[in-house]
Amino acid sequence: MTNSILTWDDVDVDAFGIEPLKIRHRLHQSPLFSDEMLATLIEQSARENYYVNTMDITSQDRRTRREGETGDISGQDALDAVKNGSIWYLLMQPEQVDQRYRELVDEIYDEMMRHVPHFRANRRKLSILVSSPKIQVYYHCDVPGQMLWQVRGTKRVYVYPPRQPFLPQPNLERIIMGEAHEISLDYDPAFDKEAIVYDLEPGQMLHWPLNAPHRISNHDCINVSFTTEHSTEATRRAFIVNYANGVLRRSLGINQLSQETAGPTYWAKYGVAGAYKALGMNKRRNLKYKVDFQVDPTGPKGIKDITPYEFSK
């Protein structure tokens, strides 16, 4: 197909979702990711639909990560702050500002489902990342299926295997149960020996196995990227098993728990997870953030300090 989003010729579709894959795409040319559109999204995104962070670009110390807000500057000023500062914007649910992002995410997944047998993606989501030169995203894992699409600039992406010691089962369970933040995973520089490392360039997309830990650092240039998220029958079953394992580990103190997603054990866990949720026994961590800076293109690192306040999601 001449108009397809991805270049499928050399894609190993059997490895899709199982091994890390880098696939070529053409969305770096889409007008939906122009500076004008990004400025509009920054200006018009509701407060609950964006995060802006700053963090130390030289260490892996996640305590240096801070939460901020755009304030009342223009989207273009915010982009200038990104260009010259140390900040990282995550713009979620862009379809609430412009319906074309909804059409785009459906176009993406419909095309994948035509090319990859048995791939059925639900709960599709697209979020946009606009980030400063050299800024990093600390070692973490994501709960849903994930893809990272590069639009402008270059970033180095380290992808680690989704197993011990990179992803301890109890930590994954706490993240899945909503009790811990995704960046609560512990990083050890020795892990890097087993990472697959990519320098992701405009027109390239990465898709890694479910829950595979990863970390990212931008090259010395502004980066525009977006992520797509989805769930499938396989990711849904993995979620249920890890959730039930979290319950069993907690309430019965069981330590050896299989992550099998089929057969009678799976169905027993399906029951455990369902009952636990139905009884309202899961006390989701109330996600509270302390916002202590505003984006400011004239400030050092593109920010200015403000009186801190709490923001909950």
Nearest-approach distance from CB 137 to Fe ion, in angstroms? 7
Nearest-approach distance from CB 308 to Fe ion, in angstroms? 26
Residue (142 or 179) nearer to Fe ion, CB? 142
Nearest-approach distance from CB 43 to Fe ion, in angstroms? 25
Name residue 151's amino acid.
Answer: V
Q: Which two tokens stand for residue 136?
A: 């990093």
Distances (CA, A) of 66 to 55, 69, 85, 90, 106: 6, 10, 14, 13, 33
Distances (CA, A) of 9 to 4, 25, 115, 245, 271: 11, 12, 10, 40, 43
Q: Which two tokens stand for residue 55?
A: 């963090």
- For Fe ion, the binding residues (CB under 5 A) are 142
For the beta carbon of residue 48, count every other beta carbon within 10 angstroms. 11
Q: Crossing angle, helix 233-252 and helix 263-278, to 10 degrees?
A: 70
For the beta carbon of residue 306, count every other beta carbon within 10 angstroms. 14
d(CA 194, CA 169): 18
Residue (147 or 222) nearer to Fe ion, CB? 147
- Polymer length in residues for the chain: 313
Nearest-approach distance from CB 146 to Fe ion, in angstroms? 6
Nearest-approach distance from CB 141 to Fe ion, in angstroms? 7
